[in-house]
Amino acid sequence: MGRRNLEYLLNPHSVALIGASDRPRSVGATVMRNLLHGGFAGAVWPVNWKRASVAGIRAYRTVADLPAAPDLAVVCTPAPSIPSLIGDLGARGTRAAVVISAGLEQKSGTGGTLASAMLEAAGAYRFRILGPNCIGLLVPGIGLNASFAHTGAQPGPLAFVAQSGALTTAMLDWASEQRVGFSHFVSLGNATDVDFGDLLDYLATDLQTRAILLYIESITHARKFMSAARAAARNKPVIVVKAGRTNEAARAAQSHTGALAGADGVYEAAFRRAGILRVDTMRELFDAAELLSHLRPYRGPRLAIVTNGGGLGVLATDALIRGGGQLARFGGSTARRLQAILSSTSPPDNPLDIGGDARPERYVTSLGAVLEDPEVDATLVIHAPTAVSSVAEVATACLPVLAEARGPALACWMGSTGIASTAPAAGARDAVPVYSTPEEAVGAMMHIVRYHDSQALLREVPASICAQCKPDIVAARTILARALTEGRAVLTEPESKEVLAAYGVPVVETRIVRDTVELSQTAADLGYPIALKILSPDISHKSEVGGVALDIESAEEAQRAAASMLERCRKLKPQARVEGFSVQKMIRRGGAHELIVGMALDATFGPTILFGQGGTAVEVIADRAIALPPLNTVLARDLISQTRVHHILSGYRDRPSADLAAIEQTLIKVSQLAADLPEVVELDINPLLADERGVIALDARIVIRPTVARGTERFAIRPYPIGLEESVEHHGLHLLLRPIRPEDFEQHRRFLGRISREDLRTRFFSALREVPERDLAYLTQIDYERQMAFIAVARGEDGSDETVGVARACTDADNAEAEFAVLVRSDLKQHGLGSLLLEKLIRYCRSRGTRSMTGEVLSENTPMLRLAAAKGFRVVHKDAGVVELTLDLRPSAIAGVTSSRGQSLAGVRGPAPCDASR
């Protein structure tokens, strides 16, 4: 249910404790103590059917006896009582509860579990439940401690959400010692209702929360999580520790891709796609949050290291390079300045060793040169105490200088016991993060780099879509349907290649022969040399049984190879069904790289795309990366860049670069195949040969199963909804009305460039000369699950596509309300284009089950107000010359809405770029 009614859970004005107790060390007594002693200003009502008072406060026998409906209920009664209690609370008017009790997985009297009965009772009232089996929650800013934790929390800017109760209480202890404060501290428990996605939606816009920290063991609703995470990560840092890095179930997968796409790798891909920073430890979680929430403008990854110990500089450099970082190279003028400062006979290098006898003054002058170097993006100072310079002296001198740095600046004080009492004023100290080892400091720098890389990936604009890359979906579906009709779960190699060819993936011609008699003629037709492979639905990896023979030059050699294969299969796989052989022309491309491209289904996130170094040793080499589809050129390039083989593909020495664009297009086509063909559950292309001439698939395998679902329904991220494209003739213009794509960035920039300043003012309610580039990326890179932007595309005078109008809607997480806006090119107003786009938007929102559409318009815009009235919008005048428009989309309210053309709706202010994820 998204954010609905979460304000009662996270910002209540009154709380009832069901199961309150005075019994020492009981859950009911502990929660009651925490509620009373946390500083909560609202009413606290204990409910205990046996006692007249609890903790000296009047108690109530039942929920019905309470003086009013509490905003929040905390429930710690036995599990069988909870479904009826939730029903009673909902009927009373309460809309949220923390269910601390465990044991709701047991059967209820109606046959299902107690948990399902609890949810059924809650559903009638849109009642939100945190838990069951949780510690509870703390909101220190309002003094709320609705938990049975042994200690409270201090107010602060960090929100912490975790699944583990034991970890939650341990982190409260640690946070108290480290003086870390929280805006919210939440234990999810079993997350039967309220989950990570819901809380991310709430915390993303919470003004008291500067960063969101997550401890995740598992995700249940992947699409909701991804939409919420991508939206939140654009607003503030979201940092995660994910437990459980192994995935034993991967061993049972049928193909290379299934075996490699382990659960942890998929989670890694999901976090990367969402713009979430993943760290390994709980200490790193809080360090990264503190670091990112105080960060100065990011300039780049190039780090300069200034130290009084050469060994310390070497350690830091090793950690930096191992972590994928980049060492800055000093510019010529900087090197000369440093040479003079250090009285060196040669220009100093990075890491900069200023000598073990360095006094604070030498640090300061050296830092002055380094910080002014345009080739340096970030700076790390490392100091080991000496007889001539203590840590306190160096810190006092350096921290104010580092605090004024233009980019990130970090410090490492070795042997820094007692530094807090002797360091400079808190302002300088707080502005510069301080670490106790070089490795910790470099790790912090890499958190900064990875976080900004993920943010940049969200904003990067992909290349235009190839107009000729239209798959032959009908041909592919025909092959799948035939195999399913025959009861087969695995396509033959030639069938697999036919499917790939239908999507434009270059494949080597492959033919099937059923016996050795056909082999000679087929080989002669193809021409020698040939490659011969065993054909069996029961043999996944042909090389394991010697089922591949290459460079066969004659009919006699082919016959011998076939006979040997059959003999080996009978010996090694006696139960395997051998259906013949596949024969293909031998492809000789000296220097070509063997790659693997695949698709597999993850139980949580649905289809995943795999890329890496291929060949028969693919599992041993273990060089692969995983991404969530849908992919575009930017995301495909990012997937390739995560592998070691990427460096080889880029060319080296006399080896030319492989055709990276062709590899990217292959990944995109496999991503599209996964969306179009839901029957495909696994796909391997191994090897995919790649060189400067392009790519070609030498071997392929596709596993299928019957399904009635659409391919896009299984995606964690909703792909481009091609079915919403619509061609129309309008006032002499041939228009394509379609959803906006990330590739429309430049086209949309040109469109906005033809909007008058007055129309920009009425659209954005501010005087804009142009829309900032960051916002322009947000406007074109949308989350189709929660947003829609229909553009009207016409053919320009130069023959290129041009946008002439756009209508967009941004729904809340519950899909209850969509905030809308429409904008038409200024020279095309008064032609009904705005009305055309708005009608399509209304139809779309209604088909998605959205309850209402809202927007704001300046009261001076009377033409727009007339059009809105004609469309059925309710008009409500607000303050400051603004009018609110609302359209009820529920079935009972849609009769009689008329069509009106002639206005542009350029004056509707609707959604700002809410979630601009791809």
Identify the three-state secondary structure at position 737.
Answer: strand
Asked if residue 32 lies in contact with residue 148, where contact means CB atoms within 8 angstroms, the answer is no
Band of the pLDDT at 247, cuts 50, 70, 90?
A: low
Q: How many CB atoms lie within 10 A of CB 111?
A: 8
What's the pTM value of the predicted model, to 2 decimals? 0.90
What pLDDT was estimated at residue 653? 82
The contacts of residue 251 (CB under 8 Å, 6+ apart) are 259
Name the token pair of 473.
Answer: 């979906």
Strand partners, 882: 858
The contacts of residue 708 (CB under 8 Å, 6+ apart) are none
pLDDT in tens, 676-685: 999 999 999 9
179: left (phi over 0), alpha (psi -120 to 50) or beta: left
Asked if residue 499 lies in contact with residue 688, where contact means CB atoms within 8 angstroms, the answer is no
Asked if residue 672 lies in contact with residue 499, where contact means CB atoms within 8 angstroms, the answer is no
pLDDT in tens, 427-464: 455 689 999 999 999 999 999 999 999 888 887 778 76
DSSP state of 682: E
**Which of 371-380, 661-670, 708-717 has the least mean pLDDT?**
708-717
Band of the pLDDT at 110, cuts 50, 70, 90?
A: confident
What pLDDT was estimated at residue 503? 96
What is the average per-residue pLDDT within 693-709? 92
Asked if residue 584 lies in contact with residue 542, where contact means CB atoms within 8 angstroms, the answer is no
What is the average per-residue pLDDT within 300-317? 95
Helical H segments across 527-644, by residue range: 555-572, 618-621, 633-641
Task: Pick the more confident residue, 898 or 520.
Answer: 520
What pLDDT was estimated at residue 540? 76
Instruction: Calculate Rg over the CA atoms of the chain.
Output: 32
What pLDDT was estimated at residue 346? 81
Report the alpha-carbon distance of residue 501 to residue 489 in Å, rounded.
20
What pLDDT was estimated at residue 878? 79
What pLDDT was estimated at residue 255? 47
pLDDT of 215 over the 50 cut? yes
Q: Identify the CA nearest to 45 among candidates 89, 5, 83, 86.
A: 89
Report the alpha-carbon distance of residue 188 to residue 100 in Å, rounded.
10
pLDDT of 146 over the 90 cut? yes
Name the token pair of 392.
Answer: 């306190």
What is the average per-residue pLDDT within 324-328? 94
Name the token pair of 6.
Answer: 């979460």
Report the alpha-carbon distance of residue 736 to residue 361 in Å, rounded.
68
Report the alpha-carbon distance of residue 757 to residue 709 in Å, rounded.
47
**Which of 213-222, 552-561, 872-881 has the least mean pLDDT?**
872-881
Taking each helix axis from N to C terminus, what angle separates 360-371 and 391-403, rounded to the nearest 10 degrees? 20
Instruction: Establish how many alpha carbons lie within 13 A of residue 754's alpha carbon, considering only the half-sphere containing its beta carbon.
Output: 15
pLDDT of 251 over the 80 cut? no
Task: Pick the more confident residue, 854 or 908.
Answer: 854
Asked if residue 168 lies in contact with residue 185, where contact means CB atoms within 8 angstroms, the answer is yes
What pLDDT was estimated at residue 904? 42
What pLDDT was estimated at residue 894? 52
Asked if residue 343 lies in contact with residue 419, where contact means CB atoms within 8 angstroms, the answer is no
Asked if residue 441 lies in contact with residue 412, where contact means CB atoms within 8 angstroms, the answer is yes
Report the alpha-carbon distance of residue 354 to residue 365 in Å, rounded.
11
pLDDT of 622 over the 80 cut? yes
pLDDT of 875 over the 60 cut? yes
pLDDT in tens, 124-140: 899 999 999 999 999 99
What is the average per-residue pLDDT within 643-656? 90
Band of the pLDDT at 906, cuts 50, 70, 90?
A: very low
Handedness of CA 552, 557, 562, 567 (dihedral sign): negative
What pLDDT was estimated at residue 541? 79
Whole-number average pLDDT of the chain: 89
What pLDDT was estimated at residue 724? 95
Q: Three-state SS string across 496-511, please?
A: HHHHHHHCCCCECCEE
DSSP state of 655: B
pLDDT of 837 over the 70 cut? yes
Helical H segments across 242-293, by residue range: 256-260, 263-274, 282-293
Q: How many CB atoms lie within 10 A of CB 904?
A: 27
Name the token pair of 414.
Answer: 């070795």
Distances in Å between the alpha carbon of 362 and those of 308, 337, 341?
10, 12, 8
Query: How many residues in total does the chain contain?
Result: 918
What pLDDT was estimated at residue 172? 92
Q: How many CB atoms lie within 10 A of CB 619?
A: 11
Asked if residue 153 lies in contact with residue 185, where contact means CB atoms within 8 angstroms, the answer is yes
What pLDDT was estimated at residue 746? 93
Report the alpha-carbon distance of residue 783 to residue 914 in Å, rounded.
9
Distances in Å between the alpha carbon of 825 and those of 137, 459, 751, 759, 830?
50, 25, 7, 9, 10
pLDDT of 897 over the 80 cut? no
What is the average per-residue pLDDT within 840-849? 96
Report the alpha-carbon distance of residue 214 to residue 910 in Å, rounded.
32
What pLDDT was estimated at residue 252? 43
Band of the pLDDT at 111, cuts 50, 70, 90?
A: confident
Long-range contacts of 802-805 (CB under 8 A, 24+ apart): 802/747, 802/750, 802/751, 803/744, 803/747, 803/748, 803/750, 803/751, 804/733, 804/735, 804/751, 804/828, 804/833, 805/833, 805/834, 805/836, 805/837, 805/904
pLDDT of 918 over the 80 cut? no
Distances in Å between the alpha carbon of 796 and those of 730, 733, 779?
15, 11, 22
**Cis amide bond preceding 506, omega within 30:** no
pLDDT of 648 over the 90 cut? yes
Band of the pLDDT at 468, cuts 50, 70, 90?
A: low
Asked if residue 899 lies in contact with residue 893, where contact means CB atoms within 8 angstroms, the answer is no
pLDDT of 893 over the 80 cut? no
